[in-house]
Amino acid sequence: MKKKLLLLFIWVLSVKVLWAQQKPQYTQYVFNNLLLNPAVSGIENYTDVKAGYRSQWTGLQGAPVTSYLTFSAPIGDNFLQGDATAFPAEGGINPSSRLYTQNYMAAEPHHGIGFMLVSDQAGPITTTNIDFTYAYHLGITERMNLAVGVQGGVDHVNLNTSEITLENPLDPAIANGNNSQWKPDLGAGIWLYASDYYFGASVQQLLPENLYFSSNNAYNQSKTVPQYFITSGVKLFLTDDITLLPSFLIKVINPTPITFDINAKVSFQDKFWIGGSYRRDDSFGVLAGVNISSFINVGYSYDITTSALNTVSNGTHEIVIGILLNNRYKVTCPQHTF
């Protein structure tokens, strides 16, 4: 009986999430802002590939599990071969150093493209997002860049009725409905950045879409809503080799209350980093990562649940693996996103 009630609870929770907060949340988004803002597409001098896996509220049956693959690449010979912020091939000034910050010049105008494949399963509902992104980067002052981006694609929502245990198998809320739906997806964003700070604003799910699992209109009240994100971060030098990177994210998703994340990362040269995060009324997080080489880096985070779910949750695990392709400058950490 408890198992049935738990499955029903998770299903109801999932339906509510589909209405108010359809997109999954991340702890390590600050290291892959493409997940939230298409304007960062092609921001680096290499092709950036990331794969991530997030198990939320472990120990709770039917809790969200998210996996994703993202791709971002710049286009434009002036940027790739002669960018004023780029290193000489095979190395140069460390992008974490004071000297790099002092000598920084705005990037050459260029285009960026990207791709996102995100799968999010919460109870019996699986949502798959497939999006392509585009951005244009332009230096608006000698040391400041502005990028404008858009994303478009499709969302697939699937309800696995075999995972739902109900007293009435013909419950009108899901009977004779469309359990596999494709919906268009559209988003946009801006990204203002230099060598030691950034500011971004974006919106996802610009196209409101009805979500229905029943042929009875009385139960077809779920719909997507636009989701707004505002984020900013700054690089502060504690010593020549150690930098502090505080940042924040504000999320506005009607009708849920406005929420925010606060993050801080301490980076040791460009070798490894540790950090922490706080998400309002939800969790505290511990993060760490290592830049293994100019080809691969790894990040891990663990969230301690502070909401009412902390009595049944063993926390949240998230791991991200990054691959740096066509990295002709042999950097081991990002130059433009930190």
Taking only the tens place, the pLDDT of each residue in 143-159 is: 899 999 999 999 998 88
pLDDT over 90 (residue 299): yes
Task: Report the share of the chain in percent with pLDDT over 90.
Answer: 44
pLDDT over 70 (residue 168): no
Kindly state whether residue 330 falls inside one of the protein's structural domains: no
Kindly state whether residue 313 falls inside one of the protein's structural domains: yes
Tokens of 3: 């198992």
Kindly state whether residue 335 falls inside one of the protein's structural domains: no
Question: Is the distance from CB of 181 to CB of 156 less than 8 angstroms?
Answer: yes
* Confidence at residue 18, expressed as pLDDT on a 0 to 100 scale: 42
* Confidence at residue 114, expressed as pLDDT on a 0 to 100 scale: 97
Tell me the pLDDT band of 166, cut-offs 50, 70 and 90: low
pLDDT over 70 (residue 81): no
Looking at residues 209-227, what average pLDDT do you find?
71
Kindly state whether residue 1 falls inside one of the protein's structural domains: no
Element (H, E) at 251: strand 242-252
211 or 41, greater pLDDT: 41
CATH number, residue 201: 2.40.160.40
pLDDT over 50 (residue 83): yes
184 or 19, greater pLDDT: 184
Looking at residues 167-179, what average pLDDT do you find?
65
* Confidence at residue 208, expressed as pLDDT on a 0 to 100 scale: 83
Taking only the tens place, the pLDDT of each residue in 38-51 is: 999 999 989 999 99
- Print the domain residue range for 191: 28-325
Kindly state whether residue 196 falls inside one of the protein's structural domains: yes
Handedness of CA 231, 237, 238, 242 (dihedral sign): positive
Mean of the per-residue pLDDT values of the chain = 82
pLDDT over 90 (residue 198): yes
DSSP state of 11: H
Distance between the two ends of the chain, CA-based, in angstroms? 49
Kindly state whether residue 12 falls inside one of the protein's structural domains: no
* Confidence at residue 329, expressed as pLDDT on a 0 to 100 scale: 79
Q: C-alpha angle 64/34/48, rounded to 5°? A: 110
81 CB neighbour count, 10 Å cutoff: 12
Kindly state whether residue 333 falls inside one of the protein's structural domains: no
Domain count, the chain: 1
- For residue 279, give the nearest of 299, 265, 263 by alpha carbon: 263
Phi, psi at 126, each rounded to 5°: -120, 125
List the single range of 12-21, 187-196, 235-244 with lowest mean pLDDT. 12-21
3-state secondary structure of 220: coil
Of the ranges 39-53, 168-182, 312-326, the best mean pLDDT one: 39-53
* Confidence at residue 110, expressed as pLDDT on a 0 to 100 scale: 92
Tell me the pLDDT band of 16, cut-offs 50, 70 and 90: very low
pLDDT over 80 (residue 188): yes
Looking at residues 14-18, what average pLDDT do you find?
42
Tokens of 42: 């092609």
162 CB neighbour count, 10 Å cutoff: 7
pLDDT over 70 (residue 93): no
* Confidence at residue 14, expressed as pLDDT on a 0 to 100 scale: 42
pTM of the model: 0.85
Kindly state whether residue 165 falls inside one of the protein's structural domains: yes
